[in-house]
Amino acid sequence: MKNYFIPRSEILNLYTSSLKEISTHSLSMWLKSKTDDNFIVIERTFVVDAIKYIEINRHTDDFLSNFLKERWDLELIKSYI
């Protein structure tokens, strides 16, 4: 995974620009903008469900192209969540 470094001043700007609290949506959009759209925030349960679906269906002929079947390292993805 590529590492992005966000200056502390940007984090401070995020903090001071919020009134009382920061929503997960605001934080998600902020992170996406600071990483050139390379990182997004999604619910963990969505990722877990998607991995389960892929694991169940990955060996069917019509599910995914061979390129994606070989490229995805589901164990690595699981370790991140």
What's the CA gap between 22 and 37, in Å, rounded?
20
43-57 pLDDT, tens digit per residue, is 889 888 888 888 887
CA distances from 54 to 6, 23, 40 (A): 33, 30, 20
Q: Is the pLDDT of residue 71 over 80?
A: no
* Predicted TM-score (pTM) of this structure: 0.61
Q: Residue 19: is it exposed, middle or buried by C-beta count within 10 angstroms (0-12/13-18/19+)?
A: exposed
Q: What is the pLDDT of residue 65?
A: 65
11-34 pLDDT, tens digit per residue, is 898 888 877 888 888 889 999 999
What residue spans define the domains of the chain? 7-41, 44-80
